[in-house]
Amino acid sequence: MRPGIIVEVNAADRAWLEAIMADRNSPQKHVWRAAIVLATADGLGTNAVMRQTGKSKTAVWRWQERFAEEGVDGLLRDKTRPSRIAPFGPEVGERIVALTLAEPPGETTQWTGRAMAKAAGVSLSYVQRVWHSHGLQPHRIRTFKLSNDPAFAAKVRDIVGLYVDPPAHAVVLSIDEKSQIQALDRTQPGLPLKKGRVGTMTHDYKRHGTTTLFAALDVLDGKVVGRCMQRHRHQEFIRFLNAVEKTVPASKAMHVILDNYAAHKHPKVIAWLARHPRVTFHFTPTSASWLNAVEGFFAALTKRRLRRGTFLGVVDLQAAINRYLAEHNLDPTPFRWKADPDTIIAAAARGHQTLDSIH
């Protein structure tokens, strides 16, 4: 034993070490470390311990010293060792960030991890760590569209005001159309969801026609009035307006939020509006249909009923949509607007400033 190192094994530690050696599931490195300590405690010298365990003198001394300092816990863990390869300096990460923010070489539109690793002369995992630490995701892109409507701010405040503080004795309706809903039938039946396997669906389909859903969302109670029609013109829009008006009590005014689709501003629609003075149209800014609350209902309809649906024809598709509308209206949720209009207007202004600086 190395001079100055004293190995004393009490009864509890001996029982623990013997259990480690007896356990068939113990890692072999733990077994021979325990054997070194027990042999030392039994009075064997360094050479005898080396012969019994088949380990070198430095290994015997190392684990004798580790046990003397930290006990059995010290035998069960390895101390970290410095890498044989020197770590990269900060300049390598800075170069990767600079390359990522610049245009990629050749006829490619974005960097990939392997392309960056090759260009920087590092490993793929190192590139991924640098990107993660700097919040860089070159494989992703977000789409946007800024409204060029000169009355953007006024229209945003007008529509948000209807959502947040609707007029007394009035109904606020968000109206829009979801056009070109396809009646898709799969070419082969899919398999259902089960443990260890996701549901399946063929990538190809049979197209049996389309329909257009006209929908009016009552902002106050969350109910939706919907009609499926074959075409998407001002004639169908007027028919839908007549159907919606019948559902609103005659004593209440109607404030209708619409986007800028041409059918909504057709001369015959304007004439219909003149014949119904209790109805007021509020148009969203151009390229800002996200202000229309009914778009959220369309998103839920697509995600929960249409995207994975299988329909044998247009009639089957329309029946499914009508059932979904009826089910939605059994437990509607009132629409709640939470965004600050001033924040929206300021963000749009910053976006225009950025675009102007680029141009």
pLDDT tens digits, one per residue of 303-334: 999 999 999 999 999 999 999 999 999 999 99
CB neighbour burial string for 114-142, b if at least 16 within 10 angstroms, e if fewer: ebbbeebebeeebbeebbeeeebebeeee
> What would the pLDDT profile of 219-255 be if each residue is shown by its tens digit?
999 999 999 999 999 999 999 999 999 999 989 999 9
Q: Which of 219, 213, 223 is nearest to 176 (CA)?
A: 213
CA dist 125 and 351 (Å) reads 35
Q: Which two tokens stand for residue 273?
A: 């509006």
Q: Which of 261, 244, 255, 251 is nearest to 280 (CA)?
A: 255
> Is the backbone of residue 282 left (phi > 0), alpha (psi -120 to 50) or beta?
beta
Q: Give the total residue count for the chain.
A: 359
* Pairing mode of beta strands 170-186, 253-258: parallel
The dihedral through the CA atoms of 29, 31, 32, 37 has a sign that is: positive
Q: Which two tokens stand for residue 278?
A: 């209790």
CA dist 259 and 229 (Å) reads 19
Q: Is the pLDDT of residue 143 over 80?
A: yes
Q: Which of 152, 167, 158, 208 is nearest to 185 (CA)?
A: 208
Tell me if the pTM is above 0.85: no
Q: Please, what is the average pLDDT of the chain?
A: 92
CA dist 182 and 202 (Å) reads 16
> What would the pLDDT profile of 79-90 be if each residue is shown by its tens digit?
877 777 778 888
Q: Which of 228, 182, 190 is nearest to 206 (CA)?
A: 182
